[in-house]
Amino acid sequence: MLETLTVRNFALIESLTVEFGPRLNVLSGETGAGKSILVGALGLLLGGKGQVTDIRTGADEAEASAVLRPSQFTVADWLAERELPLGEDGELILRRVLRRSGRSSAFVQGSPVQTSQLAELATFLFDLHGQHEHQSLLRPEQHRVLLDRYGGLQAQVDGVAATYRRLVDVRERIGSIAKEDKERLRQAELLRHAIGEIDAAGLVAGEDEELEQERQRLINFEKIFSTARRVYQQTAEAQGGALASLRLALEGLRQLASMDEGFARHSEQAESAFYELEDMAEGVRQYQGALAYDSDRLQAIGDRLDTIRTLTRKYGDSLQQVLAYAEDARAELSALEQAEQSLAGLGDESAALEAQLRAQAADLGARRRAVAAELQAHMERELRELGMPKVRLEVQVTPRQRDGRPAVTASGGDDVQFQIAPNVGEPLKPLRSIASGGEISRVMLALKSVFAESDVVETLIFDEVDAGIGGAVALQVGQKLQHISRRRQILCITHLATVAARADNHLLVEKRERDARTATSVLGIAKEERISELARMLAGDGEADVSRQHAAQLLERSQEPLLQSNGRQHES
């Protein structure tokens, strides 16, 4: 339940706090006094899009805040999910600030939240009905929403929507694959060519380095051969090389060692050096002996290296990168070749989803038709109580058609439309064909009455729902509002005394001048002040004796035992 609304620097409002009670709260006052401004401020607080022009002239920002005491568990769960505390005694505080820069801030329990989060929370707290909602009721797409809401069919609608989204996704994937078919075939052919070219080369990792080394040996064959021969000659013992001299030195060292043990170490060193040099000389001899020049081999190596360079220019900067490219190409080609199989699988999945969607939509349609009969009977009862005793209302549920074929979308396969015949002898017509604003107002109020029995929302806000009606109908509208208020808190802006007389809490909205500025104030009125206001609403003169007598009689007839007024509220 909404307990207080505080507004600062919003349009004509400088600063005021309004206290609301349970049941029926009525706001009345002269045209232009600022009644709808309060609803606008409340709409801002509930996540509506604020306009910079709403900020009071001379102020830098406008602010709206509210204190509520919700009784439903949904709000507590919403707060808990966001780690926001519920205040003492279940108190909930909402605040919205609109700045001259165009930016705004939203707060729940003093903690900043996104405006969208504030709007989401507001859906659990308020049902705000403004005059524009008459127009939304004329849109057939809204009728389907109302029917599903009445029948508690949203879970089924969500199931249809989920299947529909999966079907759309699969169809989009099929379309994407089919659209890219030519490109896929072209890419597959390029990959096959590259893989074939690389595989045909029979590349081996590291072979380019080995081939280059062999090529250098063949190119430098003469120099390598002559240098090896010279090295061998300079070391070989048989040709008077270094080994012959080292042998003589070794023999001398052995003689010295036999005479002086101090030379034993040097003798061992010389002997080790001799054998190592001998091994080296033999290795050079064998290397020289194995050397052979092969011009054909040199040509073959050149051709092989040319092949490798050609492939590296196409597929990588090195032989290793070429081999890696081949592996990647095989994986990509495999994926492309599987696309055809995937397309067939997606086709089967699409057919299965389409069958599932049509079955779900058919079941939902059957439920809608059953619920439609209940809703139209309920609506007719409410409308008769609102002064339309001969009304006929029909909630039509028809299969949706597109190009002459059944069409199922995320909301199912049905078109829903409310049709009405207000008077005997008139054919049923769409609501948009009704010329009377009073009849539209009563249809809207009947809907609110129907949904008030099942909605979790505790506060209903009506901005001149009684527009375009009067007389006996106005009496019935007042009775209906009073009846609904026994189950829900209602905030109602009205110009009708017959509605205002039934208020449990009557608030008078006035426009006053102070310090050469105009400001809106809200007064909680009771007793004589209330009789004066009802007299003004009845006859335009709140002080005339006849008007006051009429107002007093109306108030007496209209009231069940009233809650005490919240007292007078002063502007600041």
Strands 459-463 and 429-430: unpaired
> Residue 561: is its pLDDT beyond 50?
no
Q: Phi/psi of residue 481, each to 5°?
A: -60, -45
The pLDDT value recorded for residue 563 is 40
Q: For the structural domain made of 2-125+457-558, what CATH number should be given? A: 3.40.50.300
- Which range (174-188, 338-352, 544-558) has the least confidence? 174-188
- Which range (16-20, 304-308, 357-361, 465-469) has the least confidence? 465-469
Q: Rounded CA gap, 44 and 66, in Å?
A: 11
User: Model confidence at 148, in pLDDT bands (50, 70, 90)?
Assistant: very high
Helices (H), 180-318: 181-201, 207-219, 221-235, 242-259, 264-290, 295-315
The stretch 44-58 carries a mean pLDDT of: 86
DSSP of 46-81: TT----GGGBPTT-SEEEEEEEE----HHHHHHHHH
Per residue in 197-250, pLDDT (tens digit) is 888 888 888 888 888 887 777 777 778 777 777 777 777 766 667 877 888 888
The pLDDT value recorded for residue 333 is 86
Long-range CB pairs of 340-343, under 8 A, 24+ apart, other chains included: 342/177, 343/174, 343/177, 343/178
Is the distance from CB of 146 to CB of 137 less than 8 angstroms? no
Is the distance from CB of 535 to CB of 550 less than 8 angstroms? yes
Q: Rounded CA gap, 40 and 11, in Å?
A: 9
The pLDDT value recorded for residue 413 is 93
Q: Rounded CA gap, 222 and 235, in Å?
A: 20
- Which range (186-200, 482-496, 512-526) has the least confidence? 512-526
Per residue in 429-446, pLDDT (tens digit) is 887 776 456 677 778 788
Shortest CA distance to 464 belongs to which of 485, 489, 481, 447? Answer: 481
The pLDDT value recorded for residue 353 is 94
Average pLDDT in the chain: 84
Shortest CA distance to 298 belongs to which of 379, 242, 208, 221? Answer: 221
The pLDDT value recorded for residue 166 is 95
Mapping DSSP onto H, E and C, the string for 166-194 reads HHHHHHHHHHHHHHCHHHHHHHHHHHHHH
Secondary structure percentages of the chain, helix, strand, coil, to 5: 55, 20, 25
Class of residue 557 by CB neighbours under 10 A (exposed 0-12, middle 13-18, buried 19+): exposed
Is the distance from CB of 12 to CB of 62 less than 8 angstroms? no
Alpha carbon 568 to chain centroid, angstroms = 46
Shortest CA distance to 509 belongs to which of 183, 29, 74? Answer: 29
Q: Token pair 């002996």 is at which residue?
A: 289
Which residues are CB-neighbours of 253 under 8 A, at least 6 positions away?
A: 263, 266, 267, 270
> Residue 107: is its pLDDT beyond 60?
yes
The stretch 145-162 carries a mean pLDDT of: 92
Residues of the chain with pLDDT > 70: what percent? 92
Shortest CA distance to 68 belongs to which of 95, 90, 32, 92? Answer: 92
Which residues are CB-neighbours of 226 under 8 A, at least 6 positions away?
A: none
The stretch 406-412 carries a mean pLDDT of: 91
Q: Tell me the β-bridge partners of 28.
A: 508
Which residues are CB-neighbours of 259 under 8 A, at least 6 positions away?
A: none
- Which range (232-246, 271-285, 304-318, 557-571) has the least confidence? 557-571
> Residue 299: is its pLDDT beyond 90?
no
pTM of the model: 0.60
User: Model confidence at 133, in pLDDT bands (50, 70, 90)?
Assistant: low
Q: Rounded CA gap, 299 and 527, in Å?
A: 119
CATH 3.40.50.300 domain residues, the chain: 2-125+457-558
Highest mean pLDDT among 223-227, 259-263, 482-486 belongs to 482-486
Tell me the two tokens of residue 138.
């004329």
Long-range CB pairs of 271-278, under 8 A, 24+ apart, other chains included: 273/246, 274/243, 274/246, 274/247, 274/250, 277/235, 277/242, 277/243, 277/246, 278/237, 278/243
Q: What's the Rg (C-alpha) of the chain? A: 48
Q: Phi/psi of residue 413, each to 5°?
A: -115, 25
CA distances from 443 to 261, 326, 415, 528 (A): 131, 73, 20, 34
Q: Which residue has the higher pLDDT, 3 or 433?
A: 3
Question: What sign results for the dihedral spanned by CA atoms 444, 445, 448, 453?
Answer: negative
Helices (H), 458-505: 471-485, 497-500
CA torsion angle 447 449 451 457 (round to 10) = 120
